[in-house]
Amino acid sequence: MCKIEDKLNEVLGKYADSFTDKVYVDDFNDSDVLMEAFGITQELKSENKQYWGRELGKCWENLLRDLFEVTCVDFAPPKRFGQDEPADFFCGKDAIDTKYRVGSGDSGTLKKFESYGKLLQEEGYRPVFLFLRSDNLNAALSKMDAGGWTRYVGDDTFEYIKEKTGFDLKSWLIDLKDKGTFKIIRK
């Protein structure tokens, strides 16, 4: 019986160590300028994280694509390489993919990050990820690195945007929050 318990304890011990090493984000204090522009609280977001994550991600993508389109003379929409569109849009030689955050660790997603980066480089582009949030899954980030992606996160993302477009998106979003321009009202 002792051997069985030792074996089972070994399994549980490994998981206990893994759980202890896990970095947890305090959900109720973790906000970002896009959430704040809409007045979305972490409490509201936690009611349906998948919905809010997906919608805020799409909003982030649309904001950036439209901003780059109206400010960059070398803007180009997404391009197909075979069946794939490995970037949301292009700005000169930068193939830009926007991410609100990346939390998926499924193998298909991770393989795409690596293969898309390599494909874009083979086509003569510099693959660039623009992340709004910094609470990203490390396994996904390592696959991006393996694919040759240049990653900008948080304030670095806003600096890249400002450099490329001449527009201070972060200050603009903060101003919207302060004015309550797009604050959502729950019914």
Specify if 184 maps to a domain.
no
Q: Which CATH number fits the domain that encloses residue 128?
A: 3.40.1350
Side by side, the strands of the sheet bearing 126-131 are 75-76, 89-91, 94-99, 126-131, 150-153
Specify if 187 maps to a domain.
no
pLDDT at residue 26 is higher than 50: no
Counted domains in the chain: 1
pTM of the model: 0.81
Specify if 150 maps to a domain.
yes
Q: What is the mean pLDDT of residues 7-36?
A: 65
pLDDT, tens digit, 9 for 90 and up, residues 48-71? 888 888 899 999 999 999 999 999
Alpha carbons within 13 angstroms on the beta-carbon side of residue 74 total 9
What is the extent of the structural domain holding 173?
2-179
